[in-house]
Amino acid sequence: MMFAGHQLTKLSPVDIVILVLYFGLVVFIGFYAKGKANTSEDFFLAGREMTAWIAGLSFVSANLGSLELMGWAGSAYQYGILAAHWYWIGAIPAMLFLGIVMMPFYYISKTHSVPGYLHLRFGNGARALSAVSFALMTILMSGVNMYAMAVVMQTVLGWNITFSIWVGAGTVALYVMLGGLRSAIINEVLQFVLIWAGAAMIPILGLIEAGGWSKLKAQIAVNVGSSDYTHMWTTLGHFSSNPMGVHWTGIVFGLGFVISFGYWTTDFLVVQRVLSANNLRAAKMAPVIGAAFKMAVPFIVIVPGLLALAVLKNADGSVMHLVASNIAKSTPGMHSYDEVLPLMLIRYCGPGLLGLGITALVAGFMSGMAGNVSAFSTVWTYDIYGAFINKKASDSHYVAMGRWSTVIGMLVSIMTAYLVMNANSIMDYVQALFSFFIAPLFGTVILGMMWKRATHAGGFWGLLAGTASSIGMFIWVQTDGSALRYIAMSADAKPMAENLYRALWSWIICVVVTVLVSLVTKPVPTAELANLVYGVTPIPDDGATSIWQKPLFWACVVITVFFILNLIFF
């Protein structure tokens, strides 16, 4: 995400008041939560006492960072409503699957983390591979969030980059170090409410200005000369028939199955939030509640991007055309795709509302950093330090280690932010790194949970082969652009398709290698698989006494709404 080098607006005193109120409350929450973070269970899993609503909102909010909001609003401008696939098919089925099928295993195994589950199921090799890669990725992502926030603040408000980095990092380090996951969760729920309070005015006023959804679609068709931008499925029959250059198989299998299931069911950053639930039913309900709210997010992300296609005008009244960031940077007066959200915010929001919108963006960036750094400190303390460096320390020692690793993690993030500042391409590579591990990890975890014949060696070698193949395909396409036609199986595929098919291939390779190696190695005794694998684990009753309390019932409601939405915008 990059912006052109010019300032869009400035804050009035009332906007500053709104921003200061937020920072004041966040720091207060850190000190408040400190008194309740005495044991490792308190610090790393918020005492496992969160209700389904809190865990669910935190679960969806941990993924609702400003980097994603601004990036996907820009994608909606660039590719149209196809971007909503990343919020619907790219999230909802996986979130429901986590809640109904996988959560019981994570929860009753009493694991502290996803690498911790791999340790129980596949031994130390798979755990080490997963923990080290995850710790590295989270800390780098935290730095990317930090840098992105600083650039947004510089572009929109003219703030100094170093000031934004240190104030943001210092505040996040303070409240996570003091209160651990509890503090992070409180702030994530707060951020979720703030994002809606700050961003909902854009689509509401935008739709009023455009004259409603039907007139918006008609205006977009006139402005871009095509009606492809407002259909989710009808244009996916061929790579060349839609703005994104993807095919429905990539969306359904690559995004909807592998990437989505990989991210929402095995990325510890989001799973950690659900593990904080206070009982099994809450743990199953949390992702269902999260999915319901996730379905609404396109209203504040995708709709503003579409509205911009219809209503954004230059000073002379002509239609404003946003461009790629490299062009915007070198062309005075041009704006990049990623500037859609700030541009729309400035269009409709005067003093007060503008401050609320900017505060929501800042909260989103800080929440992104906090989510990454709290997950990092948990995985570092439990799955690297506690597993391989100091196995027999006291509980208070691990809490102290969690606090110190938070501070050190933030310092590494700051270094990453400065590194990205000096070499912007690093940002793309860091974001790509996540995709290397997520897809194969889903293959390993799902086989571990569903297939009792999977062995320790199978899990380790499958994960390694899947990850290595993903990195190999990425390097192949980077060094030879024409390789994309082989990975996406079409000469018409565009770069977006590469992510989808690379994930699909790396997942398949992981699963095939895991199965083959497992079949030639010694099975794990069934007794060791209790509470870890489907078929040898009695699933305890979740305590629901009526249909209204059953997570499965609400999952059916959510999936029905999901299908209806896809049909409406077909």
> Applying CB under 8 A, which residues contact another protein?
14, 17-18, 21-22, 25, 29, 32, 36, 49-51, 54, 182, 185-186, 189-190, 193-194, 197, 201, 205, 208-209, 311, 346-353, 356
Two tokens, residue 123: 């031994």
Residue 400: closest CA among 64, 44, 54, 131: 44
Nearer CB in complex with another protein: 349/473 = 349
Min. distance of Cβ 111 from another protein in angstroms?
22
Residue 296: closest CA among 567, 568, 561: 561
d(CA 439, CA 302): 25
d(CA 1, CA 16): 25
Cα separation values, 365 from 19, 27, 63, 361, Å:
14, 16, 11, 6
Nearer CB in complex with another protein: 13/525 = 13
Nearer CB in complex with another protein: 182/502 = 182
Two tokens, residue 377: 């400190």
Cα separation values, 402 from 31, 43, 106, 131, 339, Å:
16, 8, 22, 15, 37
d(CA 117, CA 123): 9
> Which amino acid would we find at residue 104?
P
Min. distance of Cβ 499 from another protein in angstroms?
35
Min. distance of Cβ 65 from another protein in angstroms?
19
Nearer CB in complex with another protein: 165/194 = 194
Min. distance of Cβ 344 from another protein in angstroms?
10
Q: Residue with structure tokens 């290397």? A: 436
Min. distance of Cβ 436 from another protein in angstroms?
35
Residue 352: closest CA among 198, 459, 246: 198
Nearer CB in complex with another protein: 14/252 = 14
Q: Cβ contacts of residue 19 below 8 Å, gap of 6+?
A: 11, 355, 358, 359, 362
| Distance of alpha carbon 395 from the chain centroid | 31
Min. distance of Cβ 54 from another protein in angstroms?
6
d(CA 250, CA 548): 36
Nearer CB in complex with another protein: 187/470 = 187
Nearer CB in complex with another protein: 29/83 = 29
Nearer CB in complex with another protein: 349/496 = 349
Question: How do the residues of the chain divide into helix, strand and coil, expressed in percent and rounded to 5?
Answer: 75, 0, 20
Min. distance of Cβ 264 from another protein in angstroms?
23
Nearer CB in complex with another protein: 137/311 = 311
Under DSSP, the state recorded for 313 is B
Nearer CB in complex with another protein: 347/550 = 347
Min. distance of Cβ 166 from another protein in angstroms?
24
d(CA 353, CA 44): 36
> Which amino acid would we find at residue 170?
G
Min. distance of Cβ 434 from another protein in angstroms?
29
- End-to-end CA separation in angstroms for the chain: 29
Crossing angle for the helix pair 201-210 and 161-199, to the nearest 10 degrees: 60
d(CA 136, CA 375): 11
Nearer CB in complex with another protein: 34/121 = 34
Crossing angle for the helix pair 353-378 and 340-348, to the nearest 10 degrees: 150
Look at the chain and count its residues.
Answer: 570
Two tokens, residue 398: 């691990």
CB 267 within 8 A of CB 252: no
Nearer CB in complex with another protein: 28/429 = 28
Min. distance of Cβ 48 from another protein in angstroms?
11
Q: What is the dihedral of CA 551, 556, 558, 563, to 10 degrees?
A: 160
Min. distance of Cβ 353 from another protein in angstroms?
5
Min. distance of Cβ 205 from another protein in angstroms?
5
d(CA 460, CA 122): 7
Nearer CB in complex with another protein: 246/358 = 358
Min. distance of Cβ 46 from another protein in angstroms?
8
